[in-house]
Structure 1
């Protein structure tokens, strides 16, 4: 290469178009080569100088010229994402299928360097190039998966023909197994493959558990196979490892992936074995699914919250004990433990601590607690003794815990003081302290008395699909004991008791809620009704309006869900609630009013932690009615009015500037999934305790 050729190469490398044109006009050959056979076109393409590429091609440069390593200009352009260079080279006849010495094509390199725009240009020109293999047998998609180039992998899965799933899983498995890298990069890749290609049962076994985000593949999996959707759900019910080999045939029999019609699909046979859900004995065991603590140990944004209500005689004379744990792995700015109490006349108290290690909970049953300060200590405890992080006999709790709480299905005990530092927002407590001790006799959880109890959100609550998840744990129980509130002692016997919980990344963006289990002349009747704009599939900005009405009346459960009927609500920013529903058998209306202003409460939010996010009151008046479907002109089957002002009412999120009229709009794939007759409790019941998913 002479001096003029060297000047041309230098101008192409630096992108100096004027100098390049001057060299060409002076007679420099556009195909001049360096000692390594690099032409000016290679240099311009490598550095993303589209103007120089166009000028060289116009001067007659070879679009498929090769370097000493057999790279073409298109190889060079593909590495660094210059779509203008790629377009110009393709227009001049450059080949996306050209291989270098190792048979890497430009498509391989675009995948390896995670360049989706370039991939789209290359595959538009030559779609078959997506299936070409390099010298060691890897396709571009396999390279993208092995390198954890998720954008390129998504692009190739969308644009290219399906490839052998075993090979794609093997590519992910070839990633370095350093935990910090693997935990972040591998789950999205498995999710992409699962959403795009069929997996056999053996291939599902290769997907690690837990695999955060895998639930987002459910709609796509269901579209191609209901049996695969069942396999996905079963796979995610095995945290940490596969079950023992002896259990696997029984698990497969229990999986029973059925279509909503009840017909077997995908070659599976219906098992003759009966399901093994827990049975409910009134006044003894009303345990529901998801009674336990759901934290799985991963560092994702996570909260779990519990709401225990006791309704006392008299208007608004109720208490709610509200506990929350956020980011229990610690280290995050939202990490903390909160104990809120809402008292008579909409009073409020909060004790908050950023020390998440003060909290404990049982992963299988309703049992939780926290020790903010041990007995006899002048300071709060950062890490309570292990012997105190469990449900304690009442006397031992009193002897060891100065400030803290413990709660279970049948026993509640605690003592907290005003401590708001670290919690979000300006919401002062109205009393300085609260103490309590009371027992509970469960009557009904969530379902017909004497029947298996239900997951409020259906079987999908076992997967990270909704944001957040929600479960009514006890629709009605009877509480007996005492609560001391700001120096006044309230004693009660067989007072109506109610329990619900949430878990996930944060509360919904907007919601309304009515709850009452104190109805005039109808002891044991209970209603919970809600409308909410919640997150879906863990994808930012993906939301759905959902609602629910559940009514327990004289041993029968009337359930209205958006996957099997219609739910609408018409709610003012404060003071009026109307939620209606219908299914194939019944229609229902829940109405409530509140003349009192209520009190703000804190709730776990996705990005601000525990902060004022809703308004509640115990002074609501509620009426519930249920008719047979199509017979609303006649007398209702159920017509109950709250005992005075004893209904709990709430609006949350927002902002609430105007009336909210909405119909639930559940996505069709989610509806179809919820209608699959999967018994998650039965499936998980086959697993030994340590292998059961947390919370079930």
Structure 2
């Protein structure tokens, strides 16, 4: 993306800021419009480093284009990874009456959430279970097929003060897609139970919690996140394109936290540019982020065999198998600070962070999938 195009995009974004009338970007449910397309989905990933396990839970709804609320489609997916991958999912589309999404004391939302308000909601699927969030806890009990996933977690570790997520001030814009990270590492305990074989996996770990909502997932993207409790560092990021009106616009959001030193840095399209080298068939992605004061080098890799079968992603007409991801990727992150004017010119300076994290989540989606990926030919999710 050249700088002239980037300046044009910034002008469009700032103009949109002034016509935006509703401010809201939080973990709680949003109001569904009378007609689609619209979707809302939650994602939580649990990492148990001590036992080399990772689990995921995804759930959400899609209001397809030009249909009424009664046609809302629902998707719930449980993922288990312990070096290899097994996945259990539902692909049904229950009526809206089968799904209850409420806030506070069980009342349906009547306004969109506000950024600074604490989270307080419950998502219930009567055949499957519940996911309950308050200001100080996250609890869930979900059953899919013959697997039950239970968890009790404490207060969130927020992305930033004041309830802001990776979008920062951009959350006020009428973007086609929003991404909010509720917690980078919520501590707690879990149980994964196979109701048929009676296998029980239990332990403690950390929960990454986030949410997307908008018209549809983008045409192409990679997503990644990780937390290392020993190094006490965390990161999350997404890189791809979004359709902003008639314009396909390069999009990126990335944040890195070193909780031990207190160092934190975020990057967005309004303050940085990104270069990508994606090799989805090899399970690798390299990204360079350049801003006025920082340069960031990222490299992610995972064995091709650790990427799971196709997951569902929300599109204008419902859900399609457009996602594949690994929970055992490796991430290398290097952050350089430009101290002097010449550092800014020559992109040099002091290396502040140089870390390697394992057990990282790495996801390829949409047009960024490998051409040989079975998602390309699948008609159903799972």
- TM-score range, shorter-chain basis? 0.7 to 0.9
Partner of 2:215: 505
Partner of 2:367: 654
Q: Is the 8 A contact 1:604 1:610 kept in 2?
A: yes
For residues 394-452 of structure 1, the C-alpha deviation after alignment (integer angstroms, 9 at most, x for no partner) is xxxxxxxxx3222315122223223xxxxxxxxxxxxx322313123322x122xxx43
Partner of 2:38: 302
- Structure 1 residues 342 and 632: alpha-carbon distance in aligned structure 2, compared to 1, 3 A threshold: farther
- Structure 1 residues 371 and 438: alpha-carbon distance in aligned structure 2, compared to 1, 3 A threshold: same
Q: Is the 8 A contact 2:222 2:368 kept in 1?
A: no
**Residue 338 in structure 1 maps to residue 75 in structure 2:** yes
- Structure 1 residues 299 and 439: alpha-carbon distance in aligned structure 2, compared to 1, 3 A threshold: same
Residues 31-180 of structure 1 mapped to structure 2, 5 A cutoff: none
Instruction: Could you list the structure 1 runs, at least 4 aligned residues long, displaced by more than 4 angstroms after superposition.
Output: 228-231, 328-334, 631-635
For residues 581-622 of structure 1, the C-alpha deviation after alignment (integer angstroms, 9 at most, x for no partner) is 122222112211101421121111123x12211101101011
For residues 139-183 of structure 1, the C-alpha deviation after alignment (integer angstroms, 9 at most, x for no partner) is xxxxxxxxxxxxxxxxxxxxxxxxxxxxxxxxxxxxxxxxxxxxx
Residues 325-364 of structure 1 mapped to structure 2, 5 A cutoff: 325-327=61-63, 331=68, 335-344=72-81, 345-351=84-90, 352-357=92-97, 358-362=99-103, 363=109, 364=113
Q: Give 3-state SS (helix, strand or coil) of 1:292's partner.
A: coil
- Structure with greater proportional helix content: 1
- Structure 1 residues 654 and 454: alpha-carbon distance in aligned structure 2, compared to 1, 3 A threshold: same
Residues 146-225 of structure 1 mapped to structure 2, 5 A cutoff: none
Q: How many residues align?
A: 331
Residues 412-451 of structure 1 mapped to structure 2, 5 A cutoff: 412-418=139-145, 432-443=146-157, 445-447=158-160, 451=161
Q: Which runs of 5+ in 1 are unaligned?
A: 1-218, 239-287, 374-402, 419-431, 659-696
| Alpha-carbon distance in structure 2 between the residues aligned to 1:603 and 1:482 | 26
Q: Is the 8 A contact 1:576 1:593 kept in 2?
A: yes
- Structure 1 residues 634 and 296: alpha-carbon distance in aligned structure 2, compared to 1, 3 A threshold: same
2:19 aligns with one of 201, 217, 232: 232
RMSD over aligned Cα, in angstroms? Answer: 3.1
Q: Is the 8 A contact 1:510 1:652 kept in 2?
A: yes
Larger radius of gyration: 1
**Residue 411 in structure 1 maps to residue 196 in structure 2:** no
- Structure with greater proportional strand content: 2
**Residue 536 in structure 1 maps to residue 207 in structure 2:** no
**Residue 585 in structure 1 maps to residue 310 in structure 2:** no
Deviation at 1:231, TM superposition (A): 4.8
Q: Give 3-state SS (helix, strand or coil) of 1:566's partner.
A: strand
Q: Give 3-state SS (helix, strand or coil) of 2:171's partner.
A: helix
- Structure 1 residues 553 and 453: alpha-carbon distance in aligned structure 2, compared to 1, 3 A threshold: farther
For residues 645-672 of structure 1, the C-alpha deviation after alignment (integer angstroms, 9 at most, x for no partner) is x1000100016457xxxxxxxxxxxxxx
Q: Give 3-state SS (helix, strand or coil) of 1:441's partner.
A: coil
- Higher RCO structure (Cα 8 Å, ≥6 apart): 2
Partner of 1:324: 60
Q: Is the 8 A contact 1:561 1:567 kept in 2?
A: no
Deviation at 1:559, TM superposition (A): 0.7
For residues 193-220 of structure 1, the C-alpha deviation after alignment (integer angstroms, 9 at most, x for no partner) is xxxxxxxxxxxxxxxxxxxxxxxxxx99
| Alpha-carbon distance in structure 2 between the residues aligned to 1:229 and 1:509 | 22
Deviation at 1:316, TM superposition (A): 5.8
Q: Give 3-state SS (helix, strand or coil) of 1:549's partner.
A: strand
Q: Is the 8 A contact 1:441 1:479 kept in 2?
A: no
Deviation at 1:634, TM superposition (A): 6.3
Partner of 1:290: 26
Q: Is the 8 A contact 2:222 2:238 kept in 1?
A: yes
TM-score by length of 1: 0.44
2:203 aligns with one of 489, 492, 498: 492
Q: Which runs of 5+ in 2 are unaligned?
A: 1-7, 104-108, 114-118, 372-382
- Structure 1 residues 512 and 315: alpha-carbon distance in aligned structure 2, compared to 1, 3 A threshold: farther
TM-score by length of 2: 0.77
